[in-house]
Amino acid sequence: MLEAVEKAGSKLKATPSRGAATAPALVQVRGLKMHFPIYSGLLRRQTGQVKAVDGVSFDIPAGETLGLVGESGCGKSTVARALLRLYEPTAGEVIVDGQNVTTAPPEALRKLRPNMQMVFQDPQASLNPRMTVASIIGEPLVEHTRLSKTGQRERIYELLDQVGLNRNFANRYPHEFSGGQRQRIGIARALALNPKLIVCDEPIAALDVSIQAQVVNLLENLQKSHGLTYLFISHDLSMVRHIATRVAVMYLGRIVELAERDALYANPKHPYSQALLSAVPEPDPKTEATRQRIVLTGDVPSPSNPPKGCAFSTRCPQAMAHCRVVAPALVEIEPGRIVACHLYSNNDSTTAATVAL
């Protein structure tokens, strides 16, 4: 089974939208699952489970950005934490830079940590209010390097310069900064150990609109100068379009479509992708006034009791009887684009490559 998934995973790579040659995959995720048990009763027996992530597979080539989008509760942040093994995955495999993260013992995992870092959604909650900026940024240096006190101080100053903060801020505390400045501190901390992969878990969601573009531009500049690879999770589809190379759309714990950025935004294939992108505002007032929104009815099903067949069938305007019985597999319907939908499962041009089982 794993061999089949690995072979199919090679079909996830797509030509980058910015015209560069496709790089080898730095991150390989195969069949990732994260199920949380539900306990009830006086004896606290397990009576069910929440399938927050239910078989997710993707690659991220080195130096590229994979955007991960979907409604709240679809499992995006859980994917991020399971990928970095902040959560212990229920099943699946995560390989970062050739190293298996999911099976690494504690000491080996500690050595892998410098290569993969995270920028959290709420900078106020992710920064210790009792630590100075220098202590926050310098903590990874203390834990993972042998730099002298002088060397640590110089590295902290260098990181502050890179994220556009004054060196005089080093001895201040998080509450003395704006939301955008606090997020820059979080980014500086993530950069401290020169990682190859940074997972950005909705890094602009808690910021003012005027600051969001500044933070995204900073991330892009750092990617170019450091050769970083990003998993960028966001609700802001317009911002994802700006920064991502490819985009994966999640619904109820599964990826339903993954494609090169421009192709997805120009012509989404999955009915859920179509509805999601129809909600993105258009800057041209004339276009905005004439375009048609796709309004979904009903609520997102509970991940503890997902519907049979296709998880989206309860809300899909194009659902067929078959959709409510059989769950569609992810198949490649054109080079670089995979979709989990029965509308394309019988397409003669489809290469049936099962990716997320």
**Could you report the per-residue pLDDT of 167-222, keeping only the tens digit for each?**
999 999 999 999 999 999 999 999 999 999 999 999 999 888 889 999 999 999 99
Q: Confirm if 273 and 264 have CB atoms less than 8 A apart.
A: yes
Query: Does pLDDT of 5 surpass 60?
Result: no
* Res 289: pLDDT: 72
**Could you report the per-residue pLDDT of 99-123, keeping only the tens digit for each?**
999 999 999 999 999 999 999 998 8
Half-sphere exposure of 85 (CA within 13 A, CB side): 22
* Res 11: pLDDT: 41
Query: Does pLDDT of 333 surpass 70?
Result: yes
- Would you tell me the crossing angle of helices 149-162 and 179-191 to the nearest 10 degrees? 130
**Could you report the per-residue pLDDT of 123-140, keeping only the tens digit for each?**
889 999 999 999 999 999
Query: Does pLDDT of 354 surpass 60?
Result: no
In DSSP notation, 253-321 reads TEEEEEEEHHHHHHS--SHHHHHHHHTSPPSSHHHHHHS---PPPS-PPPTTSPPSS-TTTTT-TT--G
Question: How many whole angstroms separate alpha carbon 291 and alpha carbon 282?
Answer: 9
- Residue 346 — very low, low, confident or very high, per pLDDT cuts 50/70/90? low
- Strand boundaries in 44-83, DSSP class E: 45-61, 65-69
Give pTM, 2 decimals.
Answer: 0.87
- Residue 299 — very low, low, confident or very high, per pLDDT cuts 50/70/90? confident
pLDDT higher at 288 or 76: 76
Mean pLDDT for 226-232 is 97
pLDDT higher at 248 or 350: 248
* Res 3: pLDDT: 41
Cα–Cα distances (Å) from 328 to 28, 73, 325, in that order, read 22, 21, 10
- Residue 283 — very low, low, confident or very high, per pLDDT cuts 50/70/90? confident
* Res 351: pLDDT: 38
* Res 252: pLDDT: 95
Mean pLDDT of the chain: 88
**Could you report the per-residue pLDDT of 236-253, keeping only the tens digit for each?**
898 999 999 999 999 999
